[in-house]
Amino acid sequence: MFKRHRRLRSSQVMRDMVKDIYIDVRDFVYPLFIEEEKGIKKEIPSMPGQYRISLDMLEPELDEIWNLGIRSVLLFGIPIEKDPMGKEAYNDFGVVQEAVRLIKKLHPEMLVITDVCMCEYTSHGHCGILSGPHVLNDETLYYLSKIAVSHAKAGADMVAPSDMMDGRIQAMRKALDNEGFINTPIMSYSVKYASSFYGPFRDAADSAPSFGDRKTYQMDFRSTKEALREAEADLEEGADILIVKPALAYLDVIKRLYRRYDVPIAAYNVSAEYSMVKAAAEKGWIDEKGIVVEKMYALKRAGASIIITYHAKDIARWLKNNEID
């Protein structure tokens, strides 16, 4: 006798009863792009529904996020001034630092995560200090550590280094501990590929490199074992959470990390993954809600317990209105 699997698919109630993967609004982290200038809420052309927002315009956005049930945000700063050393990144009164203080004042219980990198702050757009055309690894660690400490001093609940310099987690952990921030966790972009899926983000954050690319420090997507080496090194150096970025083309990597390491795995559902859905939905080619929900379940199935996504507000609305299961 063959097995009748369809018995457990016979009705919506039956399917709901036997499912084993769940989506909860508390799983999501919503990225925010914070402008240093004033009076700005400007939609990002390549990311419909996403905005660059100045501090004086941030309160209504935060209220909306909170009222939707989203409890975690990831901050990216867009400073007025950039220079070769990215000095505004570790300015104690820089745009991200001030955003952290404002959020903690308006919504003290919101979990504030800060992206730690230099690409939005350097005039050349690379993620570290340069010597000629080369990004210097060890020299950059000092500045990344200064950024992390500056964010923690402002009240950040967690720092998320995205630069992909070797040894950065160890350097930041030591710097944070030395400044008394022993309980500030590090959510590391441990597995971050040199990807074509970042295009819209670079428009949003003004972070495109002015020359060359980032392939000498971000990972080669043709390599599999490298992901495990990067993750293992970050854990040994003190990372608390591992991020895989991008998400959808790397479900296999998320699964490998989930099976191997007993720590939370985060998936970054990046800008092009978002924008492609929005563009196709605007054309009427796809069911946007159906596609987004299917993507989120795929990430959870692969092992991600945390999902960083620009879809978070849409998903929160659908959940609140009982439009998705």
pLDDT at 212: 61
The residue count for the chain? 325
The listed CATH number (3.40.50.300, 3.20.20.70, 3.90.79.10, 3.40.50.1820) that belongs to domain 22-243: 3.20.20.70
pLDDT at 203: 74
- Does 104 qualify as catalytic in the annotation? no
Active-site residue identified among 82, 192, 278, 295: 192
- Does 192 qualify as catalytic in the annotation? yes
Whole-angstrom distance, CA of residue 32 vs CA of residue 187: 17
Active-site residue identified among 3, 38, 215, 245: 245
Q: Contact 127/217 with Cβ under 8 angstroms? A: yes
The candidate with the shortest Cα–Cα distance to 212, out of 270, 133, 297, is 133
pLDDT at 307: 98
Gyration radius from the chain CA atoms: 20
pLDDT at 131: 85
| Average pLDDT of adjacent 10-residue blocks, the chain of 325 residues | 90 90 95 94 94 96 97 96 91 97 97 94 86 90 97 98 94 98 97 91 70 79 92 97 97 97 96 96 96 97 97 96 86
Question: Quick one: DSSP state of residue 69?
Answer: T
pLDDT at 215: 79
pLDDT at 211: 67
pLDDT at 210: 65
Whole-angstrom distance, CA of residue 228 vs CA of residue 310: 27
Whole-angstrom distance, CA of residue 23 vs CA of residue 97: 31
Which residues, including other chains, have CB under 8 Å from residue 203's CB and lie 6 or more apart? 44, 45, 46, 47
pLDDT at 125: 78
> Which amino acid makes up residue 73?
V
**Could you give the 3-state DSSP secondary structure of residue 229?**
helix
pLDDT at 255: 97
E strands, 14-147, in order: 28-35, 41-44, 47-54, 72-78, 111-116, 129-131, 134-136
Whole-angstrom distance, CA of residue 199 vs CA of residue 148: 25
